[in-house]
Copies of this chain bind each other. A is one copy, B any other.
Amino acid sequence: MEISPRRTGRPYDHSSDDRILAVTLDLLAERDYERVTLDEVAARTGKAKTTLYRRWPTKEDLVLAAVRAAGRPPEAERLPDLGSVRADLLAVLDSPWLGGPDRRLAIFAGLSSATRGSERLAEVVRSEVTEPYVEVYRRLLLRAVDRGEIAARLVASVPVLAEVIPAMSTHHLAAGRGPVRRDFFVSLVDDVVLAALQVR
């Protein structure tokens, strides 16, 4: 039941696959899915278009692979634990996931527009990107409930509040209000999430 590698001929050069996928995400961060062209991916990576098609049979597959390769947020397994919910929430913002806050949001915007075209893509984006990201916040908040930092009767609000930061920052960008500034993030944490949970 083992995948038998080819025995003869020049082997695939997988050394630049990561770069190809990263470039694909870059483009998605800049433009609509529809405006991302394989010609451009090829140009930016210095690879031939035929080489791309040898690995991923269609454009959709390439984008899918790029999304999967982006991976879940690093905090999914190891949540920040800095002693207070507030510190933990702020720490997530600085996560290097997807290249840090700015690129991350741009990619979110690109993906969410891409989503409208393909159900496959929508499903992968949801399960590989959006959901794990929200999950990080959800777990941080629930842990704070356990610790007693958040009143137990407010547990019911946690699921909604876990979506606040991803949703609001995406919206901020989509509304064309330029890059998301740090004080906006802080305001989301303090004036929305923690205020609603009556922390402090």
Task: Determine, out of A6-14, A29-37, A65-73, A80-88, the stretch whose residues face the partner at the interface.
Answer: A29-37
Kindly report which residue of chain B lies nearest to residue A184, judged by CB atoms.
Answer: B160
Q: Does A156 contact B (CB under 8 A)?
A: yes
Type the 1/0 row for A158-200, where 1 means its CB is closer than 8 Å to any CB of B: 0011011011101110111100000010011001100111100
What is A's interface to B at a CB cutoff of 8 Å?
31-35, 109-110, 112-113, 115-117, 122-123, 125-126, 130-131, 154, 156-157, 160-161, 163-164, 166-168, 170-172, 174-177, 184, 187-188, 191-192, 195-198
Within the complex, which residue of B113, B126, B195 is in contact with A113, where a contact is CB–CB below 8 Å? Answer: B113
List, in ascending order, chain B residues with CB within 8 A of A195's CB.
Answer: 154, 157, 195-198
Known pairs A32-B33, A32-B116, A156-B191; list 8 more (Cβ under 8 Å): A109-B116, A113-B116, A157-B187, A161-B192, A164-B164, A168-B168, A192-B196, A198-B198
Kindly report which residue of chain B lies nearest to residue A175, judged by CB atoms.
Answer: B130
Cβ B163 vs Cβ A171 within 8 A = yes
Minimum CB–CB distance for A100 against chain B, Å: 20
Kindly report which residue of chain B lies nearest to residue A191, judged by CB atoms.
Answer: B157
Within the complex, which residue of B131, B154, B192 is in contact with A160, where a contact is CB–CB below 8 Å? Answer: B192
Cβ B188 vs Cβ A160 within 8 A = yes
Within the complex, which residue of B116, B156, B167, B192 is in contact with A157, where a contact is CB–CB below 8 Å? Answer: B192
Sample of 16 A–B contacts (CB below 8 Å):
A32-B116, A35-B117, A109-B116, A112-B112, A112-B113, A115-B176, A123-B176, A126-B175, A130-B175, A157-B191, A160-B188, A161-B192, A163-B171, A163-B172, A164-B168, A198-B198
List, in ascending order, chain B residues with CB within 8 A of A32's CB.
Answer: 32-34, 113, 116-117
